A and B are shown apart, each in its own frame.
Chain A
């Protein structure tokens, strides 16, 4: 007793009593730190499963930089933004639930021509792409429009990575569906909200640790090929599975899914100084919360839970690095041209209006 050992040098946060039990849920300290310094004018790109949308909202409300590489048109009302899924992630990818899907989006960002190989679903005269079938409530007019919009999002995804200092990705599921022939992942099981399920073409996958690790490593390598200085923050969504196709009870399937994702995220962060793990899952889903941050369905996370998660997210960011001098906005020249055109048009309109008044 009393001898020097690895535990005797640990901080209070390393012990359950002083780190969790005594401070209580709302007084955790030093829950996480990025391990890298960021400038105060840091720019984040955010993607992932549905829980990820809280991060973009929180960044914007705190006045921190959030890259919106595929914004809605200027002056587009908020209700229409929500309806058409603008402003949720840094590009209109919709939720990216699996590592395979992230790997796919990164590949499209690096080569948007690959969008031509993405499966489209035609139903009732409308077309949806299988990576984000619900991105527009009624789908697209035709395949040409659908592919154009998908390529547009692939370009936007790339821009978001180029313009970001930090890529935040919330890992959601181990379960997903793929095309049996091409291996293309789907955003959701075909035949649920859109598409038609075909047992011969649509294959269920419950990705294992090695598969997810490989997909994440490929995705991260692709992201760094676009932006070599990119830092990455990984989180795991605390939202349980809606359903499992694994054959297991959904409670057991959820635990498997979250455990594997948590392990992959933790190992990636441990192996790479430019990757951090943010414990949103732990804040919501572990024993000390007694499930209090879940809504009565024991699945949706309450606003109180989201607030607590985001407070810890910001507390762990080190924003002490010198500010980065940014290149002028990509839109600067375009907006100058629009202003000039508007000025010329206003002048022409004034002349016409004066002539009209003289006609009286």
Chain B
């Protein structure tokens, strides 16, 4: 099957890959651990697309993916790329580590919760995202048809949804396309619908992946190669 798009990212790529395949799209993918993305160990490489100073296999894997497409880097293969690399869980752990809670969520001050204003929360998230955003900006600069997919989340907390919204704002500020699932669920939705939830309670399932891909396509967030796009239209 010819390749229609490339999906690169963390554990959330699994659902997106399954969804793309369910829609009959040819997919090539590269999945790296969320920890590697979060620790900003993964960086942009002009040669192979991605590289890591400590994990040489990252560069090799990216180069292998590029080679399978006849290029050095997957980002120069002329195919649309979906990138999913926002590790909300790690960010949340750091945020809560010293006892902080988001002002938009219920807090127990008597129990020692330290409230954090929305402005500080935004500054925190933007700071945490600085290096992933640098990587995304570099990928965007290659001229590839990039779509950054924000992850679904389960926390039922306003903070998780607002963090995703801040991430989305940052991506769009770079001029890149971003898919934020919360913008496409019905207003008032506070948690991932149960039929979209993987049994691990932390990821979207195949149905989510299919819905996410359909939603991205329906909203022109993915620029498929012309014949495929025409067929889907």
Contacts and interface: CB of A to CB of B under 8 A. Distances in A.
Interface of A: 70-77, 80, 83-84, 112, 136, 138, 140-141, 145, 148-149, 151-152, 155-156, 159, 330-331, 334-335, 338, 341-342, 345-346, 348-353, 355-357, 359-360
A236 to B, nearest CB: 31
A353 B10 contact: yes
B110 A353 contact: no
Contact of A141 (B11, B29, B117, B128): B117
Secondary structure type dominating chain A contacts: helix
Contacts of B93: 338, 341-342
Nearest to B199: A348
A84 B119 contact: yes
B31 A356 contact: yes
A356 B17 contact: yes
A353 B109 contact: no
- The 8 A-B pairs at the shortest CB distance, nearest first, are namely A352-B11, A356-B14, A349-B11, A152-B115, A356-B31, A74-B97, A348-B200, A345-B89
Contact of B29 (A145, A351, A356): A356
Nearest to A352: B11
Interface stretch (B32-40, B69-77, B188-196, B224-232): B32-40
B124 A76 contact: yes
A105 to B, nearest CB: 16
B13 A356 contact: yes
A350 B35 CA distance: 10
Given A348-B11, A348-B202, A353-B14, A74 B98 contact: yes
B94 A70 contact: no
Contacts of B115: 148-149, 151-152
Contacts of B31: 353, 356-357
A342 B128 CA distance: 17
B103 A149 contact: yes
A348 B90 CA distance: 13
A353 B11 contact: yes
